[in-house]
Amino acid sequence: MHEITPARVHLPHRSSLRPAIRPPGFASRTASSSSPSSSSSSSACSRWKISDSYFRHDHAIARSLFVLPLPAALFWGICTRHRWAWWTTRILALLVAILYALPSIGIWFLYPHLPLGLRLWITVVGAILCAFVLSVHLALGRPAARTYFFARKTGH
C-alpha cells in the first residue's frame, strides 16, 4: 500500500512580501495602539464599518437611509390598493425577471471557458429567481388582481 503524505509548501520570506494595501485614511495598528483616543484613527476606521443606525459615528448619513423608503412606499401603495403601486410593481417585476434571465442565458455564449458546473449553477439560480419574480408579474396581471386594484374605492 502507498502512504499518503501531505505536500510541503514553501512560503517566501516575509521580507519579500509586498506590504498590505490599505484604503486611503486607514490608520495603521501602530498609530492606533500608540494613541487609542486619537480621533483620526477612529474616524478613518468608522468609514469602513457597517452602521446600525441612520447616522454613523463620524456623523455621516448611512446610504441605506435613502434606499429603504422606496420599497416601503411601494409596499404601502400595494397594501392601500393604489394604482401607481400596481403599475410600478408589475413593471419592476418584469424588468427584474429580464435582469435575472439575461445573465443565465448569456453565460453560455459570453463565457464558454468557465467550468460547466459554475455555468449550470449560475443558470439554475438565475432561472429560480426569474421564475419567482415572473410569478409576481403574472399574478398581478390576473383579472382578480386587476379588479382589486382598479375597483372604485368607497368610504374614503
pLDDT for the residue 151: 83
Q: Is residue 9 part of a domain?
A: no
For residues 95 and 110, state if they share a domain: yes
For residues 74 and 59, state if they share a domain: no
Sequence-distant (≥ 6) Cβ neighbours of residue 96 within 8 angstroms: 133
Collect the ranges in the chain with pLDDT lower than 50: 29-46
pLDDT for the residue 154: 62
For residues 124 and 90, state if they share a domain: yes
Of the candidates 156, 6, 2, which has an alpha carbon nearest to the alpha carbon of residue 82?
156
pLDDT for the residue 40: 47
Q: DSSP letters of 58-123?
A: TSPBPTHHHHTHHHHHHHHHHHTT-HHHHHHHHHHHHHHHHHHHHHHHHHHHH-TTS-HHHHHHHH
For residues 34 and 87, state if they share a domain: no
For residues 86 and 136, state if they share a domain: yes
For residues 41 and 94, state if they share a domain: no
By residue range, what is the domain housing residue 30? Answer: 14-64
Fill in the amino acid letter for 61: I
Task: Indicate the burial class of 46 (C-beta count within 10 angstroms; 0-12, 13-18, 19 or more).
Answer: middle
Q: Is residue 4 part of a domain?
A: no
Q: Is residue 2 part of a domain?
A: no
Q: Is residue 3 part of a domain?
A: no
At 50, list the grid cell: 457597517
| Final residue before a domain boundary, out of 47, 64, 81 | 64
For residues 47 and 91, state if they share a domain: no
Maximum CA extent, the chain: 86
pLDDT for the residue 32: 47
pLDDT for the residue 38: 46
Q: Is residue 6 part of a domain?
A: no
pLDDT for the residue 20: 54
Give the chain's domain count: 2
For residues 56 and 85, state if they share a domain: no
Q: Is 49 helix (H, G, I), strand (E, B) or coil?
A: coil
Q: Is residue 123 part of a domain?
A: yes
For residues 125 and 85, state if they share a domain: yes
